[in-house]
């Protein structure tokens, strides 16, 4: 049967349209790119709420400030924006006044929490990117998101290890 390619519905690699998306925090940890350090938050657009782009990932970075630009509050959180981190924690429903030994402990506490991510478009070096402008408390805090199953071939990048005894080989 003959067919033709049609990419009109292929939005896998396109940027998300601006708007608010119900998300679940999948990962939250300190990361680096070159010498720049940032707190990476990986969000997944929830599939238990009726909305477009379910299961898409949104990558949000809270960059560490240069020492000369850090406030006293920023220094409490390893130089990251205290205001942005507190907005994230409040939006995720973490209790006010909770103490953490370090930012990694806070990141672990964020995993699985729900937020609403406000996505905007931002131009950087002539390229349009999606960006999390702000986060809000979820209107649906009871999360029933189901993670997509990863098949073994997808985990290994399509490669499968085959183990064979020497007796099984023809040479």
Given a cut of 80, whether residue 123 has pLDDT beyond it is: yes
User: Phi, psi at residue 141, to the nearest 5°?
Assistant: -70, -20
Residue 150: pLDDT band (50, 70, 90) is low
Q: Does the predicted model carry a pTM greater than 0.85?
A: no
- For the chain, give the percent of residues with pLDDT over 70: 82
User: Phi, psi at residue 123, to the nearest 5°?
Assistant: -95, 130
Q: Report yes or no on 118 lying in a domain.
A: yes
How many Å apart are CA 166 and CA 171, to the nearest integer?
Answer: 9
- Distance between alpha carbon 131 and the CA centroid of its chain, in Å? 11
Q: Report yes or no on 129 lying in a domain.
A: yes
Strand 36-45 with 127-137, pairing:
unpaired
Higher pLDDT, 12 or 115: 115
Tokens 């429903």 — which residue?
Answer: 93
Strand 19-33 with 57-63, pairing:
unpaired
Q: In what order do the strands lie in the sheet with 36-45?
A: 57-63, 36-45, 19-33, 114-124, 127-137
Q: Report yes or no on 149 lying in a domain.
A: no
Domain assignment of residue 97, given as a range: 20-143
Q: Report yes or no on 7 lying in a domain.
A: no
Tokens 């009871």 — which residue?
Answer: 142
Q: Report yes or no on 29 lying in a domain.
A: yes
Helices (H), 1-119: 72-76, 82-91, 103-110
How many Å apart are CA 47 and CA 127, to the nearest integer?
Answer: 29
How many Å apart are CA 111 and CA 53, to the nearest integer?
Answer: 20
Q: Report yes or no on 117 lying in a domain.
A: yes
* Chain mean pLDDT for the chain: 87
Residue-wise pLDDT for 89-106, tens only, equals 999 999 999 999 999 999
Q: Show the beta-strand stretches assigned E in the chain.
A: 19-33, 36-45, 57-63, 114-124, 127-137
Residue 171: pLDDT band (50, 70, 90) is very low
Domain count, the chain: 1
């Amino acid at each position: 049967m003959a067919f033709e390619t049609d990419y009109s519905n292929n939005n896998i690699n396109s940027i998300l349209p601006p708007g608010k998306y119900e998300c679940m925090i999948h990962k939250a940890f300190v990361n680096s790119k070159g010498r720049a350090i940032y707190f990476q938050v990986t969000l997944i657009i929830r599939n238990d709420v009726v909305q477009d782009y379910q299961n898409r990932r949104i990558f949000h970075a809270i960059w560490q400030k240069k020492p000369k630009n850090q406030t006293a509050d920023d220094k409490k959180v390893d130089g990251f924006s205290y205001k942005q981190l507190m907005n994230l924690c409040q939006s995720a429903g973490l209790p006010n006044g909770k103490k953490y030994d370090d930012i990694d402990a806070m990141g672990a506490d964020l995993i699985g929490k729900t937020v609403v991510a406000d996505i905007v478009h931002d131009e950087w070096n002539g390229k349009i990117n999606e960006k999390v402008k702000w986060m809000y408390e979820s209107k649906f805090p009871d999360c029933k998101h189901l993670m997509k199953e990863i098949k073994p071939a997808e985990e290994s990048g399509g490669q499968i290890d085959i183990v064979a005894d020497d007796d099984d080989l023809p040479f």
